[in-house]
Structure 1
Amino acid sequence: MAGIVMLCRLGPIALLAVQAFVSSALAQHAVPIATEPSPSRPSDYDEILVLAQGRLQRLRDVPISASVVGGVDIQSWNLNDLTAITASVPGVRVSPGPGADHVHIRGVGSGENAGFEQSVSTFVDGAYRGRGRAIRASLFDVERVEVLKGPQTTFFGNNAIAGAFNIVTRKPAREAQYDATALYAPTDGEYALEAAISTPVSPTLSVRLAGKLSGMDGYTRNAVNGELGPHLRDFVGRVSVRREPSPIWELDARVDYGRNRDTEQSQYQLVNCPPPAAFGNPIGVCANQQAASGGALDDRLDYDASVLPSFFDYDFVEASMTNRWRIGGANLKWISSYFRHDFSQMNTVFPVDYPGIANTPFVHNVFNGEVARSVSNEVRLESEGGGVLKWMIGAYYAHGELSADLLSGSYFAPLGLLGAPYFDAETPFANLGALEESAETKSAFASASVRLSDAVRLNLGARYTRVSKQTERSLVFGSAFPTATFDTFVPAPDAVQLQIADGLDAEIGPFDKPSRVDDKFMPSASVQYDVTPRVMAYVSYANGFKAGGYALNSVGNMFDAETVNAYEIGIKGTARDRTVSFNLAAYRSDYDNLQESTADFRVDGSIIFLVKNVATSRSQGVDLSASARASRWFTLRADIGYLDAVYRSFTDGPCTSYQQLTRPAPCIQDLSGKRKAFAPTWSGGIGATLTAPVGNIKLRADPLVYFTSSYYGQATADRELLQKAYAKFDLRIAAAPVDGRWEIALIGRNLTDKATASYRNSLPTSPGSSFALVERPRSFAIQVLARR
């Protein structure tokens, strides 16, 4: 382990040199390696291959509940990110938020705080992306995306306590290839231009170049400036190399760079103003907005907003190198990766158009940014397939640096009075919070699979992880005019800082314990039984862990590690001469000390954000996926999930908006027995493929219906923040020659034009009212593809 730690600290360039030296040395003592195939659009269930357990296996042989989205489908449907990928995957919710993006599997995920790494981990060719905003790193030129449900502690490990997205990129080919696609949607100005070329440079070296330009004019009109949003202008590019210098050594390396720009990001809308009758007359921001509109206020969820401008800038770079050697009867794999992203954004928290204190243009704006860097190394040695025993041992080390800032301009109330007499009621009050964190993760892991008989296999796994963190925080109060930016912020004197902190129940000093260490031994076990040569049943247990940490809040908020015990039983396979495939799994996951982000929205407008450890929670349910090829021209697919995700014990949870109005501050409620956020009881999708030849042209239609029952948008069980049940209908119609060299398609999304929200939250100062971010309405696009 000490050697791996030292390697990580060498830096990306030195690591490449060390890997090259080790590769040459190992090549002197190795035997030929078998190249792993990777189909992009399997023709039947038996051909779907995954890396869910570190080695390439058929999906039906893996004792894990998983969904796979192929690269051809991702390109054909122009699925740009994980939000689009998972729209029809049951039990999975990915949605953008103002402070962080929400990623949940089976009702478990990390909330909106810069101190969180995700409970659902994302890996790209083995490289770990832990930050919530990293799902914005454009998804393109991929072989497949594996959605792995439940804790993935042995084979992925790093925080994958709820599940993992395993993204496999396309690799350079030994023969010349190209593919390109162009898409345009006149309904909202979406466009995408993507191209890739793969070519051999020598008998042992191949290179692939890929890039994508994409964007959108927008579908929500802002009445303040007349602009449409989201207004996207994005680019991502990749250079990848595959080198096979000898039969026993294979190397894959790539560098990705991406740049996302959104000049109209926070198109949030005011909803339920006035509030329901139980809340009484509107107060606060809602009352002011009603007066400003003369009573003709649009408070429905639609495609009209009234907010001041906002922006979101995101840049990332990722480098990854994987070496594989065959040494005797074993394979050695070494994965090195580097990831960095920078983002900055400005949001309008209150979706209104009237001035705040001292005639500032915003009522409340938030300016925040983050720089995150990480470098990691993983080494694993595994036996070859076949035989009575298959084994694997490995070690992992990662070092990460985080710098996050949150600047808030609170112009909705005379908060300057808290600093009187230095400040007064007309002071444009603002505060700046900062979090600096350094983290190290060290892991050792192993697995063994023993064939007890021709039909029975026992799988054992374990991982030991140690996470150490060192953190600094600061909170500074002051003023900022006309808006809150780093250039306009002026800190108050130290004495005034203490006075304001006392009035807001805030803390301006460091954390009580600025360093912490969490460690855990995590065993796992499963038994597989081959009912028939094509049907496998399994039962599994896994223990999971996610380290504690520090939150970016107005108080020195620390939170402890969370753990899970997960159980699953399932059956998967094929029938009727492989024309029918199925995957049925029942699961239960019991979480202790679950990390939950909460917010106390006080009636006076102040907001106290906290991260708490929920005593216990439980996620249980059933997932079913199946497909049937009724004929050569017709295939039907279904992916449906039932989920029961509740807090078993959470006695000091955040309040609903009505409770905020009727109970004294600080307000808490007992959430025990209530449903978790982003956890619909029913969700999934049903799709079909219909093909018909017309001369030398093949016509294809892919209808898809995806649905969800209602779910809460925040961890408060607040019915005012409930996304109601809905179903959406997409359709893709395409024509292509029999050889598939080109294709032209028409894509329709949300054809029934359902208005739904990806994000909801309570409106400070105005109980019963809320703000929401509407999702894309009905759209049509035309697409042209060419490939060889």
Structure 2
Amino acid sequence: MIVARRIAGLALLVFTAAGFEAVAEDRASADPKPDGRSQNPISALTGDLAASKLSPKNRLLEEVVVTAQKRKESPQDVPISLQAFSAENLEARGVLDNFGLPKITPGLTITQQVGYTTTYIRGIGSDAFLLADPSVVNYIDGIYQPFALSLVQDFGAVERIEVLKGPQGTLFGRNALGGAINVITKDPSTESVEVSLQAVIGSFQQSNNRLHVNLPIANWLAVSLSGVFNTQEAHHDGRLDVRPDNTDGRDLPKEKSQAGRFKLRLLPAEWLDINLAYYRLDIEGTGTVFAVNTEPSLISELAGVRPMDPYNGENNEAVYSEAINENFYGKVDINAPWLDIKVLASEQRIVSRQLFDYDGARQPLVTFALDPGVADVRTTELQLLSNEGSWGSDWLEWILGAYYFDATQGLSGFLQAATTDLDRGLLLGARLPEVVPATLEALLGDSLLPTGTVDAVGLVGTESLAIFSQVKLDVTSWLSLTGGLRWQNEERVLIESSSGLRTLGGQVVPLQNFSGRDNPDFRDTTRSLDPKLVLEMRPNWQILGPDAMLYASWQTATKSSTFNAVNITDDPEYVRAEELTAWELGMKTQLFDGLASLNLAAFQYNIEDQQVQFISVLEGGIATFENAAEAQIQGLEIETTAQLFPSLWSGLVLNVAYAFLDSEYVSFPDGSGFDEDTGLLTQNNDFTGNQVVRTPELSGTVGLTQAFDLPSLAGTIEVGASYYYNSGFYYLAQNTPNVQENAYELVDARLTYIHNLWNLRVSVFGNNLLGEKYNYSRLATDFGTSDAVAPLRSIGLRLNWDYSF
């Protein structure tokens, strides 16, 4: 009933415009203008476009240029479902990091898993971190970032963010089945010195600080420096290092992150633009590594674990999460008379260390440590693009490119079962009499006496080469055809999958050891050829708006095969490549003399061998992927931004965006999951007919922003409020209540003063004002479900200042 009411409300908002148009037609002849022409009441109601331009500036209306097709275009001219946000737009909406993006981008789901971001768009994504590839790719300044560690943090000094929905394999490549998030940061400028400052204080002792400085050195050389330093207390009252004997433990530490980006830009000639950059991010704290067991399994209950309040929970381990991400990258742009040439390259390294209380309780059952997780990545891309001087440029656009990717990624760590350390006299968390370990050591020797710790190593190597091309042909003034093709050859090799028992003597007794260096069973090559076809029409039908674009697309995409590399006793398993076929119909238009935009998209995905993850130590591995034979997702998206009544109530903007998704595992007869009653791992379950993970049936936002001019104060007051609804989703394919995120609603509000002469903005904001409870993640394991909760109600003050001279 609630969902039905919201759909009905949305329909009312969308079709009110149609009603106004009908009224306009009925009244046209009854109210002639002095020159004999009929006056359209739409103009009387909304005001003409010229009048709207005199209204107070509303930052939600700022135009954004996107590079969704590797060249600069207006979003309304790109036959792709996308949403793009400038820095001003993000600021006006109160979005500072990735967790805010879903609230303004329906169909986008962002959660975390052990400190790593997991992103889904329209139900397509992956829980992969380090050992496989995400299905929604992330780009920063045109450089592919295979692991979204840094995207959790403050976006820093960005120019814009683009969220591209649907398969983007042709141009954005490597496994981009679900879409792409493209973050563009500010390039150095030779025109003026620029200083940009942001400072945020808020609930939970939040302190976010950002500084960006642009320094022109010569008319051909400029540099920029950006820095971010964030600290915040935990947003819940968790405790660490707590024992069953009621040892108090200690409070959660502060969350800290600091990042810096240095950019150098060279302009030695009019036709040459060189950008070089170095970026480093350091993170420490507990993050979502701190999770609380809210629904213990039978195993946990027998060990004395009871459900805990996730906002006031406890872990028996001193859990932590820390990471360093370093990135060297560069881009060279050559503008020749007949084509443009771009070369992009990067070298990336991630090192992360984490200690995770696997059971999420105060009882000492199982602890997992990542020490360390490592990724070394190298990328190179070449693009050849047509320009205005290319042959046939008035009717033909094309791009031809090549992409190379080379990476070694994986982890080493240890699993400690039941806090058993005979060297310290501990067995299942209990202290033994001193004579017991001494006797065992005398009988077995310290080389055979186990400490209770299992070491594990999983390392995967990837080498990929792709050739891609896309051609757009303007057949007539209103009809265009686009064809794309991507060929990819990707080789995966299991460098190492090993485990062993630690002994008191410091030796490791091997349990298993596999490598693809000399075993072809642990090497695999995925070869794919994925086409794309797009039909784009501009029929100039007045009922759709004067410049409406209709488009229809069909394409395929492939996500490469991989191996389950981290195992305790299980053999490494091969995970088949995932294949997707997508159809989409869409419309983009401007209405009411450009006062409103309306974008619609309907789509259907058919997925074969979808890669689905679960986590179980009792199964013999840690994070394990398996293939769902077939899945289907279909949906409808709607987005509109409108200036409301500019001649009567100037500066008022309405933003509405909703996504409706219908998903199903069409065939999944042999899935793994946890028994709903006992919590024990079960296999060969039939999940056919279940909902695809992380796919809410309905998600959407409604926002209103009003800007008021204050001439006496040389400024503008901006008032904004937004409502976000998510109908809920499942974290595992088994679709049981213990892996379900319930429906939730978020209400945010902002009040901003903008000093137009100084470009100074001061904002008071409140997030989740209803105090809604929801999760950043729900992790189901052999020991139950552990929750990492999102913040409850929070308020804050933000200062932004931009100055140039």
Tell me the TM-score normalised to structure 1 length: 0.83
Please list, as runs of the form range in 1=range in 2, the aligned pairs for 1:647-666 lying within 5 A after superposition: 647-658=665-676, 666=682
Cα distance change, pair 615–701 in 1 and its aligned pair in 2 (3 A): same
Partner of residue 716, structure 1: 734
**Which residue of structure 1 aligns with residue 565 of structure 2?**
552
Q: Which has the larger radius of gyration?
A: 2
Which of residues 625, 631, 636 in structure 2 aligns to 1:611?
Answer: 625
Residue 66 of structure 1, CA deviation: 0.6
Residue aligning to 1:534: 547
- Output the CA distance in 2 between the equivalents of 1:369 and 1:468: 24
One-letter code aligned to 1:538: Y
**Following the alignment from structure 1 to structure 2, what is the Cα–Cα distance between the partners of residues 268 and 516?**
36
Q: Specify the code of the residue in structure 2 equivalent to 1:784.
A: L
Asked if 1:784 corresponds to 2:799, the answer is yes
Q: Are 1:399 and 2:406 counterparts?
A: yes
The answer to whether the 8 A contact 2:255-2:285 is kept is yes
For 2:685 and 2:419, locate their aligned partners in 1 and report how far apart those are by CA, in whole Å: 26
Matched, 1:518 2:535: no
Task: Report the residue type matching 1:383 in the other structure.
Answer: S
In the TM superposition, what is the alpha-carbon distance from 1:727 to its structure 2 partner?
0.5
Q: Distance in 1 between matches of 2:384 and 2:129?
A: 37
Partner SS for 1:60 = helix
User: 2:253 and 2:748 mapped to 1: Cα distance?
Assistant: 21
Q: Does 1:211 align with 2:227?
A: yes
Partner Cα separation in structure 2 for residue 712 and residue 325 of structure 1? 48
Which residue of 604, 619, 641 maps to 1:627? 641
Give the match for residue 344 of structure 2.
335
The aligned length equals 700
Post-superposition offset of 1:690: 0.9
Q: What are the equivalent positions in structure 2 for 1:754-773 lying under 5 Å apart?
A: 754-765=772-783, 769-773=784-788
Of 729-738 and 454-463, deviating more is 729-738
Q: 3-state SS of the aligned residue for 1:531?
A: coil
In the alignment, the residues of structure 2 paired with residue 666 and residue 304 of structure 1 have an alpha-carbon distance, to the nearest angstrom, of 28
SS in 2 for 1:154: helix
**Partner-residue secondary structure (3-state), 2:361:** coil
Does structure 1 residue 566 correspond to structure 2 residue 582? yes
Q: 1:740 to 1:558 in 2, by over 3 A?
A: farther
Any conservation in 1 of the 2:615–2:781 contact (CA below 8 Å)? no
Of residues 559-568 and 395-404 in structure 1, the stretch that sits farther from structure 2 once superposed is 395-404
Note the C-alpha offset of 1:493.
3.4
Structure 1 pair 167–521 and aligned structure 2 pair: CA distance change class (3 A): same
1:409 aligns with 2:426: no
Residue 84 of structure 1 corresponds to 100
**How many Å separate the matches in 1 of 2:312 and 2:778?**
15
Aligned residue in 1 for 2:112: 96
Q: Is the aligned partner of 1:231 residue 2:236? A: no
1:376 aligns with 2:379: yes
Pair 1:423–1:264, CA change in 2 (3 A):
farther
- Give the deviation of 1:435 after TM superposition: 2.0
Bigger Cα displacement from structure 2, 422-431 vs 776-785: 422-431
Residues 1:467 and 2:490 are matched in the alignment: yes
Change (3 A) 1:216 1:660: same
CA distance in 2 between partners of 1:79 and 1:693 (Å): 24
Kindly tell me: are residues 606 and 342 of structure 1, through their superposed partners in 2, closer, same or farther at Cα, counting changes over 3 Å?
closer
Match of 1:55 in 2: 71
The equivalent residue for 1:20 is: none
Aligned to 2:38: none
Q: CA deviation at 1:230?
A: 6.5
Question: Cα distance 1:510–1:250, how it changes in 2: closer, same or farther (>3 A)?
Answer: closer
Distance 2:621 2:428 in 1: 12
C-alpha contact (below 8 Å) 1:601/1:660 kept by paired residues = no
Q: Does 1:344 align with 2:353?
A: yes
Offset from partner CA, 1:93-125 (integer Å, 9 cap, x none)? 111112743221111212245421111111111
- 560, 575, 583: which one aligns with 2:599: 583
Aligned 1:54-133 pairs, distance under 5 A: 54-75=70-91, 79-98=95-114, 100-112=116-128, 114-133=130-149
Range 53-62 or range 133-142, more displaced: 133-142
2:325 aligned with 1:316: yes
Q: Deviations over 1:495-520 (max 9, x none)?
A: xx3xxxxxxxxx54345623221111
Aligned match of 1:182: 199
Alignment root-mean-square deviation, CA: 2.9
Q: Compared with structure 1, are the counterparts of its residues 76 and 582 closer, same or farther at alpha carbon in structure 2 (3 Å cutoff)?
A: closer
Q: Is the 8 A contact 1:63 1:528 kept in 2?
A: yes
Contact (CA 8 Å) 1:114, 1:551: kept in 2 or not? no
Distance 1:169 1:560 in 2: 36
Equivalent of 2:461, from 435, 438, 445?
438
Amino acid at match of 2:716: K
For 2:149, what is the secondary structure of its paired residue?
Answer: helix
1 CA distance for matches of 2:597 and 2:176? 28
Correspondence list, 1:126-525, <5 A: 126-136=142-152, 139-173=155-189, 174-185=191-202, 187-223=203-239, 224=242, 227-229=250-252, 231-263=254-286, 266-272=289-295, 283-289=298-304, 299-356=308-365, 363-385=366-388, 386-411=393-418, 429-479=452-502, 490-494=506-510, 497=511, 507-510=512-515, 513-525=521-533
2:8 aligned partner = none
Distance change >3 Å, CA 438–CA 364, structure 1 → 2 = closer
SS at match of 2:204: coil
Closer, same or farther: CA 149–331 of 1 in aligned 2, 3 Å: same
Q: Which residue of 1 aligns with 2:54?
A: none
CA distance in 1, matches of 2:70, 2:363: 55
Q: CA deviation at 1:464?
A: 0.6
Q: Counterpart of 1:493 in structure 2: which amino acid?
A: V
* Alignment CA distance shift 1:104-1:702 (3 Å): same
CA distance in 1, matches of 2:461, 2:606: 30
Residue type at the aligned position of 1:204: W
Match of 2:52 in 1: none
Identity %, equivalent residues: 20
2:22 aligns with none
Q: Is the 8 A contact 1:590 1:616 kept in 2?
A: yes
**Within 5 Å, which residues of 2 pair with 1:642-681?**
642-658=660-676, 666-681=682-697
The alpha carbon displacement at 1:63 in A equals: 0.7
Aligned equivalents of 2:331 and 2:621: distance in 1? 46
Equivalent residue letter for 1:349: Y
Q: Is the 8 A contact 1:116 1:549 kept in 2?
A: yes
Q: 1:738 aligns with which of 728, 752, 756?
A: 756
Task: Answer whether contact 1:177 1:787 (CA < 8 A) is retained.
Answer: yes
Q: Give the C-alpha shift of residue 127 in structure 1.
A: 0.7
Q: What is the one-letter code of the residue matched to 2:547?
A: R
Counterpart contact for 1:271–1:772, Cα < 8 Å: yes
SS at match of 2:144: strand
Gaps of 5+ in 2: 1-56, 243-247, 421-426, 430-439, 541-545
For the residue of structure 2 that corresponds to 1:553, the secondary structure is: coil
**Is contact 2:382-2:401 (8 Å) kept?**
yes
Measure how far apart 1:436 and its partner are: 2.4
Q: Residues 77 and 747 of structure 1 are in contact (CA less than 8 Å); yes or no, is this contact kept in structure 2?
A: no
Q: CA-to-partner distance for each residue in 1:576-604, whole Å, 9 max, x for gaps?
A: 111100110001111111111134576xx
Aligned to 1:702: 720
Whether the aligned pair in 1 keeps the contact of 2:126 and 2:133 (CA below 8 Å) is yes
> Against the structure 1 CA distance between its residues 493 and 601, is the aligned structure 2 distance closer, same or farther, given a 3 Å change threshold?
closer
Is 2:314–2:362's contact at 8 Å kept on the other side of the alignment? no
Q: Deviations over 1:277-310 (max 9, x none)?
A: xxxxx743234435xxxxxx66344344444321
Deviation of 1:239 after TM superposition, in Å, equals 1.3
Task: Please tell me whether the aligned partners of residues 137 and 316 of structure 1 are also in contact (alpha carbons under 8 angstroms).
Answer: no
- Output the amino acid matched with 1:760: R
